[in-house]
């Protein structure tokens, strides 16, 4: 039934026939399994303004950075992480420690960290900067046995914004 859609019309006084019902079921089945939708059936006017296009589906805009080596961070000192591994950055977003946003949108910013265990003080901070200004300050409780932290932020960002 590929690319076939049967136009079923009804007018007042029509008798419901098995043939018309069969055509309606065939249309429904075709839409459910995709065989009634031709390659050109969905065109640009069917896609909402600012919607994700077919070419964009399945493509992640972003980068995955990590710090493999230990980085020394002094107590009560704001220290920018020096990423030493780019696991994913096909669009070149990461340069000299910052991530530059390529296009307006909502971005998920995930960052995880491991601090050296310490018996003194149980809170560690992770700060997120947008365009060089403090955006969020996260305080995370850590212990000697559990020195980990994970932060997830959803940010509405504009093209050319930088995050660090």
pLDDT confidence tier of residue 2, bands split at 50, 70 and 90: very low
Structure tokens at 90: 């096909």
Phi first, then psi, for residue 78 (nearest 5°) are -75, 120
Give the pLDDT of residue 70: 84
Give the pLDDT of residue 58: 65
Query: For 155-164, how does the pLDDT look when each residue is reduced to its tens digit (9 = 90+)?
Result: 999 999 999 8
Query: For 110-140, how does the pLDDT look when each residue is reduced to its tens digit (9 = 90+)?
Result: 888 887 766 666 777 888 899 999 888 887 7
- Please tell me the distance from the alpha carbon of residue 109 to that of residue 135, in angstroms, as a whole number: 12
pLDDT of 35 strictly over 70: no
What is residue 49's DSSP assignment?
T
The class of domain 64-163 in CATH terms is: mainly beta
Give the pLDDT of residue 22: 81
Query: For 82-109, how does the pLDDT look when each residue is reduced to its tens digit (9 = 90+)?
Result: 888 888 888 899 987 899 999 888 888 8
pLDDT of 49 strictly over 90: no
Average pLDDT, the chain: 79
- Please tell me the distance from the alpha carbon of residue 63 to that of residue 109, in angstroms, as a whole number: 10
Tell me the domain boundaries of the chain: 1-41, 64-163
pLDDT above 70 coverage of the chain, percent: 76
Q: What's the CA angle centered on 108, arms 105 and 113, to 5 degrees?
A: 150
Q: What are the residues facing 82 on neighbouring strands? A: none
pLDDT of 1 strictly over 50: no
């Amino acid at each position: 039934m590929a690319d076939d859609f049967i136009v079923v019309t009804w007018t007042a006084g029509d008798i419901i026939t098995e043939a018309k019902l069969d055509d309606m079921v065939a249309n429904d089945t075709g839409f459910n399994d995709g065989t009634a939708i031709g390659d050109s059936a969905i065109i640009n006017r069917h896609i909402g303004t600012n919607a994700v296009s077919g070419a964009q589906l399945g493509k992640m805009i972003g980068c995955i950075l990590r710090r493999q080596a230990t980085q020394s961070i002094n107590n009560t000192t704001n220290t920018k992480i020096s990423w030493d591994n780019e696991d994913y950055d096909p669009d070149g977003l990461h340069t000299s420690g910052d991530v530059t946003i390529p296009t307006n949108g909502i971005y998920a910013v995930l960052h995880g960290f491991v601090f050296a265990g310490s018996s003194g003080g149980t809170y560690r901070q992770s700060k997120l900067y947008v365009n060089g200004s403090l955006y969020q300050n996260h305080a995370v409780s850590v212990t000697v046995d559990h020195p980990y932290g994970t932060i997830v932020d959803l940010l509405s960002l504009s093209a050319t914004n930088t995050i660090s």
